[in-house]
A and B are shown apart, each in its own frame.
Chain A
Amino acid sequence: MKEQWRLLQTGFNTAFSNMAIDRAILVANSKGKVPPTVRFYGWIPPAISIGYFQSLADEVDVSACERLGVDYVRRITGGGAVFHDKELTYSIVIPEAHPAIPKNILKSYGRICNALIQGLMHLGISSTYAPINDILVNGKKISGNAQTRKERTVLQHGTILLDVDVDTMFSLLKVPDEKIKDKLIQDVKQRVTSLHHTLKKKIHFEEVAEALKFGFEEEFHVELIQGILTKEEKTLATQFEKECFSTTRWNHRR
């Protein structure tokens, strides 16, 4: 019989709640209380997440975010700033010792990204993994990914762009040199794509989630069983949201 993992569809939440839920699953899994878990989710309101090592003030135009009703949050994973709007976000939480996960961190990025690549195939899209942490369609980025390992547990989360609005994104992000901002925006427009653009039609979140579910099942030879957050995970998530992700101390710490 195939190994069974848990599938969570937690819908659309705030940035603070989303990051708190991923961390809560990591803690629960590290204590052996929940099976390996794949989660699909979205963001309401739209939000910017920044990598653990980034400076909020350097990367994010906080007042523009506040004006446009966009949340901002620091992740527990490294990597870059992401504008989460029309996209599907996934996370996977699994023990580091699980045979499905290469010990080598970069190789494990590749393995998990393969699940996404398989999933995109179900939408008729051919894509490739571009180390360190991107997935490309026709040479353009459609997915960014970030992984942390804590308490012998792997958490990787990442996005699949359903649609992309580079102009809005750059109205929220800061760039090192304002003089070349216009050129930078043009460059990014050339380098980024989305499902909408690739398929030349709109695609629903649910359809993408279904395709990615198959992708994870095939890549890891498992069955994903729809589940819910445990009571303990919900309590932890509420605590992390309140004490960490929604606080100035956490978000402005660098």
Chain B
Amino acid sequence: MRSQSIYKVPQGKLLKISVEYDEKKNKIRNIRITGDFFAYPEEAIELIETKLRNVLIEREQLQKKISSIITKYHIQFIGLNVEGLTQGILKCKP
């Protein structure tokens, strides 16, 4: 199943996410995170996309996973945050 979302992060930028997911397992197969936000270092976005594969599409799981990647790789967002990214992914599901 492939799905997309557009989500305006409160106080932030416009996030556009495209997700390909396994409907039975409710897990991400592939994800592409795009938008007019800022992330430092920029290449971290590809890392986040890779690390989100096989993660359950469920609020707490996503928040935990995204937070841990951000901490581990010292990623800084501007115009985006963990909550916004989580929300954008959840919005991909009908």
Contact = CB atoms under 8 A, between A and B. Distances in A.
A207 interface: no
Contact of B36 (A51, A106, A147, A176): A51
A105 B6 contact: no
Contacts of B13: 80, 132
- The size bracket of the interface on A is 20 to 34
Given A105-B76, A106-B78, A176-B6, A53 B39 contact: yes
B30 to A, nearest CB: 13
Nearest to A253: B46
For the residues of B in contact with A, the DSSP-based class is strand
Nearest to B16: A58
Contact of B37 (A53, A55, A106, A148): A53
A8 B13 CA distance: 32
- The size bracket of the interface on B is 20 to 34
B77 to A, nearest CB: 10
B34 interface: yes
Given A132-B78, A176-B6, A79 B34 contact: no
A136 interface: no
Contacts of B40: 105, 148-149
Given A55-B16, A58-B16, A105 B78 contact: yes
Given A78-B37, A147-B38, A176-B6, A53 B45 contact: yes
